[in-house]
Amino acid sequence: MPIKDVLLPLVGEPDDRAIAAIEKCVAVAGDLAARIDAVAVEEDVSVRPKLALLASDDAVGSETLRGTTDARGLLRAFDDAATRFGVRHVQDLRRLPGDEIAPALAWQARLRDLSLVPVKANSDQSESIIEQLLFKSGRPVLLCPEELATELPVTLDDILIAWDHSAPAARAIADALPLLQAAASVRVITATDNRSDDELRSGKALVGHLAEHGVTASFETVRIDGSSVGKIFEAHVRSNRIDLLVMGAYRHSRLNEIIWGGATKTVMGRPPCWVMMSR
């Protein structure tokens, strides 16, 4: 199924990196000939007032609102980009407390083909939004690292598939099929130190499956050698100038990855390029 209806969650402040990520996400939606629906969230920000000499008794110990994040600024940047690139677009403004943002965005994403998510490096809020989208929307997510936004490509020609024969990886490949069919180069890698016969057969079988869909792909195994799988993906992306990494999310339990670390948490925390994840 082609990607024609995209959600763009906008949370935080309209700084330079956030605006660059918005512009790049809009450009990608335009390249896909998709409509993009931006949902910007005004988040209440509250602080405890400091005790001042002239403070009234009622003020002491109470909680006052400092204001909200500048969601309207994010929407202005979005509207400017969509108008400039000629992309069909819709926008919405919501005001939500922090703990309701991620679930509300996941609910919105259920009637979209894809969520395009600007990602702040090592941000708990970004990770929370991505996880809710993965577990609660039933749709894939395409991660846009804000810190790399200015250098990210618009056309995703060189694609890397992280393959481990898991159900999430299989789902990610199915979700990414329209992008794979349009790519100039597709590589499949399995990160392993064993290079077992089962792993080799699985990789070759995936190449054959993709060929049935008109996608020519290569397959190789990559040694881990004491590193983490997430770092292996990152190194492969950088050394091969990959535009898009396609991977399944949370092959192991989420709790296991939180405690011990894992490829999903590594890549989600600081995506090395565009990353498409499914669960």
* 229 vs 143, residue with greater confidence: 143
Q: Is residue 56 one of the residues assigned to a domain?
A: no
Number of domains in the chain: 2
- Whether residues 25 and 43 share a domain: the answer is yes
Average pLDDT over residues 57-68: 55
Domain that holds residue 171: 155-278
Q: Is residue 57 one of the residues assigned to a domain?
A: no
What is the pTM for the complete model shown? Answer: 0.90
The pLDDT of residue 227 is: 85
- Whether residues 128 and 165 share a domain: the answer is no
Check whether 141 has a pLDDT greater than 60. yes
Q: Is residue 58 one of the residues assigned to a domain?
A: no
Check whether 49 has a pLDDT greater than 90. no
pLDDT in tens, 24-41: 999 999 999 999 999 999
Which of 150, 173, 188 terminates a domain? The answer is 150
Average pLDDT over residues 229-256: 86
Which of 124, 150, 176 terminates a domain? The answer is 150
CATH number at residue 17: 3.40.50.620
Check whether 154 has a pLDDT greater than 60. yes
| DSSP-assigned beta bridge partners for residue 96 | 43
DSSP track, the chain: ----EEEEEEES---HHHHHHHHHHHHHHHHTT-EEEEEEEEEEEEEPPPP-TT--TTTTT--EEEEE--HHHHHHHHHHHHHHHT--EEEEEEEE-HHHHHHHHHHHHTTSSEEEEEE-TT-HHHHHHHHHHHHHSSS-EEEEEGGGGGG--SS--EEEEE--S-HHHHHHHHHHHHHHHH-SEEEEEEE-SS--HHHHHHHHHHHHHHHTTT--EEEEEE--TTS-HHHHHHHHHHHTT-SEEEEES-SS-HHHHHHH--HHHHHHHS-SSEEEEE-
Residues 6+ apart with CB under 8 A from 47: 63, 64, 66
Q: Is residue 111 one of the residues assigned to a domain?
A: yes
The pLDDT of residue 5 is: 98
